[in-house]
Amino acid sequence: MTKKSPPNKTAKTECLEQFKVDAGEQLTTNQGVVVDNTDNSLKVGNRGPSLREDFHFQEKLSHFDRERIPERVVHARGAGAHGYFQVYEPLTEYSKAEFLQNPSIQTPVFARFSTVAGSRGSGDSVRDVRGFAVKFYTQEGNYDLVGNNIPVFFIQDAIKFPDIVHSIKPEPDNEIPQASTAHPSFWDFISLVPESTHMIMWLLSDRTLPRSFSRMQGFGVHTYRLVNAEGKSRFVKFHWKPLLGVHSLVFDEAQKLAGKDPDFQRRDLWESIEKGNYPEFELGIQIIEEEDEHKFDFDILDSTKLIPEELVPVRAIGKMVLNRNPDNFFAETEQVAFQPSNVVPGIDFSDDPLLQGRLFSYHDTQLHRLGSPNFAHLPINRPICPFHNNQQDGRMQMEVKTSRVNYSPNALGGGQPAPSEIEGYVHYPERVEGHKIRERSQSFGEHFSQATLFWNSLSAVEKKHLVEAAYFELGKVEDQAVREKMVDRLNHVDQGLAKQVAMGIGVAAPAQPITQNHGQSSPALSQNAFAVKTAKGRKVAILAAEGVEAEQVTAIKQALAEAGAEGLIVSTFLGTIKSATGETLKVDQTFLTSASVMFDGVYVAGGTQSIATLKENGDAIHFINEAFRHCKAIAATGEGVELLKKSSITGVTLSERSLQDDQGVISAKTPSSLSAVADSFVEAIAQHRFWNRTIQQKVPA
C-alpha cells in the first residue's frame, strides 16, 4: 500500500477543512431550500393555529431537541486545542513507531484537558484530578495517550472502576455535591480501600488545583510497552512536563474563581493560544528493560504505584506545541473520542489489570456517547492516513462504499482490502499461562510506602496545604466512624500527618504510628522541582482611577509585555479614564467583574487623584489584601505606596525605595526608581508565590 507524504502540522487542518460548511449569505433548510422567515411559524392568520406543514419549524425544533448527546461519565468538563508533536531524535532503539523516528516531522495532535468528577456545567477550578489526553494523527493511524495530571490511580483493578466513580459522583439520593469529593460516600469508600491511600495523598495536594492547563504535568499512569523493529520489547512510563513549570492555585483562590469565573482554565487556554502564547510540553519516558521488571520493591503493573525518577530517570524525547484553538467546541472538543486501545506499531500494552479494563471500557463508552460504531468517521476522530476495511452501514456512515463485497476473504473484490504481513500491527508475543482465578498478585499487596514517599517529598508549604485540604474534605463528612477510619489510614502513612488531620476534624490523635516512616523522599514529586521562574503568560492587575500617572502605567505595561506577561487596568467602571496629564487610558476590567484571584500580581500606579479615589474604594483595598494573602507579587510607585499603607498588609517594608523585599512587595515613591521597580516586579512575578509571608493569614480577605 502506498503511503501519503509525511505528516506535517497542517495535515489535520487540511483533513478538517474538507468537512467545514461555508457561511452563505442566505439561510436555508438542511435540504438546501432557502428560508424566507425564521422568526414566525406558519399559521392560519396572525392569531390562528400553527400548521403541521411548516417543514422549516419542524426541522429547526427537532434538531434542537436532539442536539445533546450523553456527556462523558467522567472527564465531562474539558477544553481542547490542536497542535503538533516533534520528536527530538530517532527512537529506533526503543520503538518502530514512525512518528518517533524523524525529528523534522511535526505530527498533528489534539489535546484535551478535563476535570474528572464534575458535569459539563461544573467549574474549572474545583479540587479534582485533571485529565490529560492527546491524540496523535500519525501516518500509521491514530495513537491516543490518555492520562491524568497525577501519575497514579485510586484502584488496581478495573472491576472497581464503577465503585470508585460512583463514590466520587454526587450522591444518588439528592445529587449533591457537584464536582467535589468532600462528601461522605467518597471518603467512606476510600476508608475501606487501602490501595487508594497513595492516590488520595495526591488528591489532597496542590496537584489537584492547577493554575492553568499549561502549567500542569501529565502522566500516562499505566506501564506500556515500546517494541522496536527487531521485536525487542521494553516497558515504558510516559510523562508530560510543561515548559512553563508546574504551578497551582491556593484553595481559597480556587473556591472564589468558581464563582468569579467558572471557565477560568479553559478561558486561559483559549486566550493564551489566541495571543500566541502557545502551551508547550515535553514528552518524557522512563524505560524499564524486561529483565528488570521485578527488580523494584513494588510491581510496575500496579497503577497505584509510580517509578521514582531517582530509580529510573525521565528522558525527554520530544515536544508538543498547542497552537490552534478548535473551530467548534461540540464538533471537536466534545466529540473527540480517546481510547487507550488506539495504538500504532511500536507501542503495545502491559498486563496492568486497570489498563486492560480501560481498553474495553473506553471503546464501549464511545459507542454509547456517540451513538454508532462509525464515530471514527467524525472529522476530529478521522486518521490522516488512508483507512480501508469492509465495515459498512450503521448510523453516521459517512463513506459511500462502492465495493460489492463487505466480507473477508473475498475474490469478487480482488481480495481487497487485504491484511499486510509487512506493515500490519502485530501484538507483542508475550508468553502467558496460568489458571483462571479472581485474585490479586501478592506483589500488589503493599499500599502505604509510596504514600509516605510522597508526603516526605513535599515542601513545608505543600504539606500545610495538604493538611488543610484534609480538614475541608473530611470536615464535610458527618459520620464520625468514617473520619476515624481515615485518620487510622493516614497513620499508616505518617503519624505526624495523622495527628495534624485528627486535630482539625474532631478525632482523637493516634498515640502510636501503625507504620514507621521510612524516611525516604523523591524531590521530583514536589512541585518545587518544576517551578520554572518565568513571567511568561502571567496576568497583572493595574489598579487605577481618574488622575493616574500614565507614565508609570506605560512603563509597567511595557516591562510586562517584554517578559511575555500582560498588564490589565482595573478600575471602578469600564470605558476610559483620564491620566493626570490628560492621556486617555482604556479600562480592561472593573472591581465588580474581576478579582485578584484572576491575576498573578497587582500593581498600583501613582497619581494623587487616582489614589484618593481608590483609598475610598473598599474593593480596591480588598483587592490588595487578597493578593497579599495569596502570596502574590505586589508593587506600587509614587502615591500608590499610600494605598498599600491603607490596606491591611503588615510586616513588610513600605519605604521610599524597597526593591528587594523577600515578601514580594515592591515599592518606590520616587519617579527615578520606576525602571528598577518594573524590573524587580517582573522578577517577583516570575517567582509565582512568596510563601514566606508568615503573617498573611492575619490579613482580612
| Residues assigned a catalytic role | 75, 148
Question: Within 10 A of 107 (CB to CB), how many other CB atoms are there?
Answer: 27
Cβ atoms within 10 A of the Cβ of 275, count?
Answer: 11
CA torsion 553-557-558-561 (nearest 10°) is 180
CA-to-CA distance for 183 and 599, rounded, in angstroms? 30
Contact 636, 596 (CB under 8 A): no
Phi-psi category of 386—alpha, beta or left, where left has phi over 0 and alpha has psi -120 to 50? beta
Contact 644, 672 (CB under 8 A): no
Residue recorded with cell 463528612? 477
* CA pair distance 145, 288, nearest whole angstrom: 19
Strand order in the sheet with 633-637: 589-590, 566-571, 539-543, 601-604, 633-637, 665-668, 657-658
Residue 587 backbone class (left: φ over 0; alpha: ψ -120 to 50; beta: rest): beta
Alpha-carbon gap, residue 252 to 628, rounded angstroms = 13
DSSP string, 109-120: EEEEEEESSS-T
State how far the Cα of 622 lies from the Cα of 699, in Å rounded to an integer. Answer: 10
- How far, in Å, CA of 546 to CA of 561, rounded? 24
Given a contact cutoff of 8 angstroms between Cβ atoms, the answer to whether 59 and 30 are in contact is yes
Helix (H, G, I), strand (E, B) or coil at 144: strand
Distance CA 362, CA 385 (A): 23
Q: In whole angstroms, what is the distance from residue 134 CA to residue 220 CA?
A: 10
What's the chain's Rg over C-alpha atoms? 28
Residues pairing with 602 in the sheet: 541, 634
CA angle 611, 614, 615 (to 5 degrees): 85
34: phi then psi, degrees, rounded to nearest 5: -65, 135
Q: CA 309, 315, 320 angle in degrees (round to 5)?
A: 120
